[in-house]
Amino acid sequence: MKNILIMTAILLMVFLQAQTHRFIYELQYKMDSTDPHLEKLNMVLDIGPKEVKFYGQNLAITDSLNQKFGMDSDYTDMSGQVVKRKINSFDNENYINIKQGYYSFKTTDKISWTISGETKKVNQYTLQKASTNFGGRSWTAWFCKDIPFNEGPFKFRGLPGLIFELSDAKKNFIYNLVKSQKLPESYSTENFVESNFGNKAVPINEKQKYKLVMEFYNDPFAFERNNFSKTDNNLKININGKEIHNVDELNTQTKNMQEVIRRYNNPLEIDKAMHYPQ
């Protein structure tokens, strides 16, 4: 909660139509639920006049550097939490990288909260406790009625105030609000949310998404395998810093990658986790 900017200006200007209100959360999360280690990312919640967007801050930083210095860099967000929705809606557009492609799919994610009378004071803000079950996990949120946005991290919304803190019961995912900004006009994410640095999102459904993810798991180096089949045995391919000289070595790398994919199969919506074969 430290380093939160004073939000008086936001409260005064909340209804200005051209502005984007930005809230930055520190996300601590476990890629492997059995590992005590927590990864850290900064995530951005942008609340505009018509839409709400949630995405990794590194996406915006990469886009800003590209525009400022004429660069052509890209960045792959691995959080699995890039979404946008219309204001006051539970209908989300989800964005995801799969293999070499960038895709979007729609979900409706209604969240029902139980609001407690319990409160606590954090800095100058009074936070109130609420709980819910979502995505196969139990969640506790602390929200502030004085910040009149019924939004929060990822798909969590619908409380009578902004969510400051959010965590699941097993502490696999922990969000803390660390900063707020008021941008003078609507902030475009066209380069890194609706598209991924030149690759416009291809609309699919959840069934198609499952098929694509499973195809990647079954042969994560399909492109490299295809190159081996078209060339002679002198071809050398670099995978994660290791030179691969033949199909047998590629098969070993495939098994190693499949093991990593199974180990890091801990999405926020655990009820939608992939069931990979051993």
Report pLDDT digits (tens) over 194-218. Answer: 999 999 999 999 999 999 999 999 9
Lowest mean pLDDT among 136-145, 155-164, 218-227: 218-227
181 and 107 share one domain: yes
pLDDT of residue 235: 67
Residue 228 binned pLDDT confidence (cut-offs 50, 70, 90)? confident
Domain that holds residue 35: 8-200
pLDDT, position 226 = 81
Is 182's pLDDT higher than 80? yes
Based on the domain organization, do 146 and 209 belong to the same domain?
no
Tell me what the mean pLDDT of segment 185-197 comes to. Answer: 94
Number of structural domains, the chain?
Answer: 2
Instruction: Report if residue 277 sits inside a domain.
Output: no
Read off the pLDDT of residues 80-137 as tens digits, 9 standing for 90 and up.
Answer: 999 999 999 999 999 999 988 999 999 999 999 999 999 999 999 999 999 999 999 9
1: in domain:
no
**44-74 pLDDT, tens per residue?**
999 999 999 999 999 999 999 999 999 999 9
pTM of the model: 0.90
Q: Which two tokens stand for residue 67?
A: 């525009």
E strands within the chain? Answer: 20-29, 39-47, 51-56, 82-86, 91-98, 101-108, 114-122, 125-134, 137-144, 162-168, 173-183, 195-196, 199-200, 202-203, 237-239, 242-244
pLDDT at position 6 is 45
For residue range 2-54, list pLDDT tens digits in order: 455 444 344 444 444 568 999 999 999 999 999 999 999 999 999 999 999 99
Residues 80 and 45 reside in one and the same domain: yes
Band of residue 267 on the pLDDT scale cut at 50, 70, 90: very high
pLDDT value of position 8: 39
Q: Does the structure show a pLDDT above 90 at 239?
A: no
Within a domain: 105: yes
Residue 117 sits in the same domain as residue 25? yes
The 10 Å Cβ neighbour count of residue 140 is: 14
Residue 3 domain flag = no
From 200, 218, 243, give the residue that closes a domain: 200
Helix pair angle (247-263, 222-230), 10° resolution: 170
pLDDT at position 5: 42
Instruction: Say whether both 155 and 238 belong to one domain.
Output: no
Could you write out the DSSP letters of every residue in 155-177?
T---SSSEEEEEEETTSSEEEEE
Same domain, 209 and 86: no
- pLDDT, residue 227, reads 75
